[in-house]
Amino acid sequence: MTTKATQPSAQVNILIVDDDEVTRLVLHELLKELCRELLESGTLTIKTAEDGPTALALAAARAPDLVLMDVQMPALDGIETFYELKALWGGTPVNTYFLSGSPRDGHCGGRIRRAIEDGALGYATKPVAMEDLARIVRCHAFVDAPRSHGTEPWRRHRLANRQGEHRAPRT
């Protein structure tokens, strides 16, 4: 069975979800710096959402290739949003990397581990260093390999090299 999330496309989409406007802006600027050539060529788009419901609305038409998700947000927290995205895409986990301002995130630690077992990619504390963000993006937004979790592989783009040359997805 093919779900929307398994359909390849020519464009890579990254979604930043954080209730803190400054954090969204900083992450957006860091991504623009890291991926300048891809943005200029139209190969990459970066969207932002201030909460879980907005993220779900943005992801309704097309699953993002990578979601950088704050853990603690009002209304619908990042972990709940991850599960809602997963349900929206027929049970296939959307590439989600959790971010938190708390190094221990005590009340969410077990829930984060469970979400990672259920297909989330990982967890990092904020502020995220440029090198760590580059690694997260390189490893998870531009890969052409089956997901380590979930039932179906996602077709992905591969970053041909660190200079940002783009190779079309395999068919």
Q: Which of 30-34, 89-93, 105-109 has the lowest mean pLDDT?
A: 105-109
Mean pLDDT of 43-48: 94
Say what percent of the chain tops pLDDT 70.
Answer: 74
pLDDT per position as a tens digit, 69-104: 999 999 899 999 999 999 999 998 899 999 988 755
The CATH superfamily holding the domain 10-167 is: Response regulator (3.40.50.2300)
Mean pLDDT along residues 125-134: 90
Residue 97 in tokens: 């990397």
Residue 105 CB partners (closer than 8 Å, separation 6+): 71, 72, 112, 123
Beta-carbon contacts of 12 under 8 Å, excluding residues fewer than 6 positions away, are 38, 43, 44, 45, 65, 66, 141, 142, 156, 157
The answer to whether 164 and 152 have CB atoms below 8 angstroms apart is no
The rounded percent of the chain whose pLDDT value lies above 90 is 51
| pLDDT score of 31 more than 90 | yes
Enumerate the β-bridge partners of residue 69.
Answer: 17, 98
Alpha carbon distances (Å) from 159 to 25, 40, 49, 163, 169: 24, 15, 25, 9, 10
Average pLDDT of the chain, as a whole number: 78
Parse the chain into domains and list their residue ranges.
10-167
Q: What is the DSSP letter of 155?
A: P
Lowest mean pLDDT across 44-58, 102-116, 144-158? 144-158
Exposure pattern of 124-156 as b/e (b: 16+ CB <10 Å)?
Answer: bbbebeeeebbebbeebbbbeeebeebeeebbb
